[in-house]
Chain A
Amino acid sequence: MDEVKITVRDFDFYYGTNKVLHAISLDIPKNRVTALIGPSGCGKSTFLRSINRMNDIIPGIRVDGKILVDDVDVYGSGIDVVSLRRRVGMVFQKSNPFPKSIYENVAYGLRINGLRDKRKLDEAVSRSLDRAALLDEVKDRLNASALALSGGQQQRLCIARALAVDPDVLLMDEPASALDPIATQKIEELVFDLKKNYTIVIVTHNMQQAARVSDRTAFFMLGKLVEYDDTRTIFMNPSVKLTEDYITGRFG
């Protein structure tokens, strides 16, 4: 078994009185891609956003149980949410670059963390762009507006921005659902390369994408974790009938 990066035990999540996640328990391995799949409203995105407490901004939420990143309870007392999110970065469905230059988008997180040294900033920006497989396409126009990039490039810019602050974990919420097949393929190849250095958790509506990019797959339904196993097992020989029905398109 791979080294565990994120441990989830009996995790419940409530929006007010509405319980949307029921006793989720799973171990997410380090330097692997874990895909969360399931029909709309199954709780997979809520679960993803629970890992770096992105749900905190929603009023009336409540959690029970534990999510440990490197054995530290992210909902424990004394947790600095800002530093948690620095270690557990996030990429969203819709690319959301700031209306600034390409350079400033990537440097932003570093600047608010207090980095001022121009040379170090330059290095970090080009390293992050390189890791996000965008450097070659933008290196001659780092000062151009990020908004002038194509959709696929914007999404990779957002990945570069997330990588700039040097996280361990990258959460991706349908990172390719708004992209065409070529841009999607680039994101998928990127995900595949990034797992060498990062632990990745990805929510996707696209089961084929889960099959292609992930090592482990968790199938959610109505707020419950139905099955969690090696991706190959899930797609070749799942042990739960419900999983089989979902991935073969018999419902959902």
Chain B
Amino acid sequence: MLRHFDREIDQLKELLLRMGALVEDQINESIRALLDRDSAIAQKVIDSDTAVDQMELDIDQHTIELIATMQPAAVDLRFVAAAMKITPELERIADLAVDVCERAMELNAEPPLKPLLDIPRLARMAQDMVRQALDAFVRRDTALARQVIDRDDQVDLLTEQSFRELLTYMLEDSRNISRAIRLTFVNKYFERMADGATNICEMVVYLAEGKVIKHSGHHDAE
């Protein structure tokens, strides 16, 4: 029997997916703004952030209504709780895309410091992880969620490597410092996006299995 509640849940899922798609777009455009040195794109991402914020408010309202009127239990309750935790993660990821664009606009005002190599890799990795986290959520696919969580270590390594490289530019010539620091920030923003994807995946495992794996230090625990 299809419950009225299932329709409500589907609606909530649909809202989350729409928000997720919007956030993926924002990440993608922020990468373009940075790599193509395109400030117009950067400005577009900054302007679109209000749409993401509005979706967060809509989803919050919807989840609170669901709790007030449907008294969800068991897997339904975990779904609503997961939605409440995933939404702010997505909103934060979108904010980071805005941050990338703000730094990109500052960087575009000066000549490029160096060809960007590690940062694009890091950016694509973060973008991938966010997309996979959302796929894992939709399909309640805990294997995929655990894969994403495991990739976070590679992201951390790459962030560290990229930081060391930028440090050499700063040590070499103090006039490089402001651009290198901005790139360090960008580096960190993408690393934080990957962290957001990891947090979403932890909620997916909680949703599907009822297991809390965050702060456990062994994400692949079965």
Contacts and interface: CB of A to CB of B under 8 A. Distances in A.
Interface of A: 185-186, 188-189, 192, 208, 211-212, 231-232, 235-236
B113 to A, nearest CB: 52
Given A208-B71, A211-B70, A212-B71, A189 B3 contact: yes
B37 to A, nearest CB: 48
Interface in B171-210: none
B97 to A, nearest CB: 32
Contacts of B4: 188-189, 192, 212
Contacts of A192: 4
B1 interface: yes
Contact of A232 (B1, B5, B69): B69
Contacts, number: 27
A155 B165 CA distance: 75
B4 to A, nearest CB: 5
B117 interface: no
Interface size range on B against A: 10 to 19
A94 to B, nearest CB: 24
A236 B65 contact: yes
A192 B5 CA distance: 11
Contacts of A231: 69
B69 A186 contact: no
Interface of B: 1, 3-5, 64-65, 68-71
B70 A236 contact: no
Given A211-B71, A212-B71, A232 B65 contact: yes
A68 B68 CA distance: 32
Chain B at the A interface: SS class:
helix
Contacts of A189: 1, 3-4
Nearest to A232: B65
13 contacts: A185-B1, A185-B3, A188-B4, A189-B4, A211-B70, A211-B71, A212-B4, A212-B71, A232-B68, A235-B68, A236-B64, A236-B65, A236-B68
Given A188-B4, A232-B69, 14 more contacts: A185-B3, A186-B1, A189-B3, A189-B4, A192-B4, A211-B71, A212-B4, A212-B70, A231-B69, A232-B65, A232-B68, A236-B64, A236-B65, A236-B68
Nearest to A235: B68
Contacts of B3: 185, 189
Contacts of A208: 71
B1 A235 contact: no
Contacts of A186: 1
A211 B4 CA distance: 13
Contacts of B69: 211-212, 231-232, 235
Contacts of A236: 64-65, 68
Contacts of A232: 65, 68-69
B49 to A, nearest CB: 27
A1 to B, nearest CB: 20
Among B1, B3, B68, B70: residue with most chain A CB under 10 A: B68
Nearest to A185: B3
B61 to A, nearest CB: 9
Nearest to A236: B68
A192 B70 CA distance: 13
